[in-house]
Copies of this chain bind each other. A is one copy, B any other.
Amino acid sequence: MHHPKAATIKDVANYAKVSISTVSNVLNNTKTVSKPLYDRVLEAVKVLDYQTNPIAKGLKSKVTNTISIIIPSISSVFFPQILSTIHVEASKMGYTVSIFETREILQREKDCINLLESKWTDGIILSSCVDVENPSSKEYIQKLNAINIPIVCIEAAISDKLDAVIMNNQEAIYTATNYLISLGKKNIAYIAAPTRFYMGKHRKEGYLAALSDSGLPIREEYIIEGDYTPKSGHMCMQRLLARMIPIDAVVVGNDQMAVGAIRCIKDAKLNIPEDIAVIGFNNNFPSSLITPSLSTMRVPKEEMGAIAFDLLLNRIKNPDSPIKLVKLNSELIIRESTDPNGDSSWDLNW
């Protein structure tokens, strides 16, 4: 309905007085065409302002030049940066990118996959929210493995049959926790990102390992689980304080929750970091803006997006290449929430 007068390949052929296959051939460089015809076609294309119809093309060639990104949240402080890099890389290569938001609801993720299966996208970048513990997720993952669309996972390597780019979650939280221990902290609480998911699980393991390796006791009452949001971080911290256990530091599964936790601690009139030190994970820009600024583990978001697209492109072009798992390293950033002399400058790049 929208394009009543758009020129078709037929129009071009008529105008140039050649066959439509010749037009197709010059446009796609698929066969050599004599100079005169070639020129006439190009002329016709120009005159008629012809653009090949990707829908029709896709119907034949099964190529849509579209990739799809499935993420938990479009408006979080984390994904937009990844999205942006992916978009830049993708458009360079002529791909359009479609977005899908799951809000951490597995059913929505499945719906997206189903939709995409029929929509003929050329590839999918997936930040999955499958529950790693739940045996019923096996079936879903099998399906993902068997699907005929290239898929690259980010944030969570949910299958060894799928390319993925992830963080060194466990090692990073281990580093963070160890750093707190090196500061002399002994009663270190942990506000976890949802541990039924891949990422939260591995991060928590890092915390536990660090305590163990330092001979510190693991106490259940020091561990609580949030839902990624600042608000939940605030609530978790409140609960932790209400338990009336000695706490001199908190490791938090992500920066968002850590910000909430810091606010809670401030409101309780406790000093950061003297009474309670706080460290997060991600290094989102707001973490540098608050007072005290938040120590955290850096996550190379741009790199993550770029690599994810690279992996995807490679798999599209080369479906049988070996599966790749890229694990990115994070790095400790010391700010005021663990060190009074820590960096208090604002990240102004946003």
Contact = CB atoms under 8 A, between A and B. Distances in A.
Contact of A74 (B87, B114, B117): B87
Interface string A55-95: 11011001110100000011111001101100110010000
A273 interface: no
Contact of A99 (B4, B75, B97, B349): B97
Interface string A22-33: 000000000000
How many copies of the shown chain assemble into the complex? Answer: 2
Contacts of A118: 6, 51-54
Contacts of A291: 290-291
A285 interface: yes
B98 A97 contact: yes
Interface string A269-285: 00000000000000001
Contact of A75 (B51, B81, B286, B346): B81
Given A120-B53, A291-B291, A348 B84 contact: no
A338 interface: no
A119 B118 CA distance: 18
A81 B73 CA distance: 10
Given A4-B148, A99-B99, A229-B348, A259 B52 contact: no
A220 B256 CA distance: 41
A230 interface: yes
A260 interface: yes
A2 B120 contact: yes
A97 B70 CA distance: 12
Contact of A117 (B51, B76, B117, B346): B51
B349 A230 contact: yes
Interface size for chain A: under 10, 10 to 19, 20 to 34, or 35 or more residues? 35 or more
- Identify which of A55, A64, A114 gathers the most chain B CB atoms within 10 Å of its CB: A55
Interface in A97-134: 97-101, 114-115, 117-120, 122
A68 B91 CA distance: 14
A5 B62 CA distance: 13
A3 interface: yes
Contacts of A335: none
B77 A350 contact: yes
A263 to B, nearest CB: 5
Contacts of A150: 2
Contact of A346 (B87, B263, B319, B348): B263
21 contacts: A1-B63, A2-B122, A3-B120, A51-B118, A52-B118, A53-B118, A53-B120, A54-B118, A54-B120, A55-B119, A55-B120, A75-B80, A76-B80, A77-B350, A96-B100, A96-B115, A99-B99, A230-B346, A233-B348, A256-B350, A289-B290
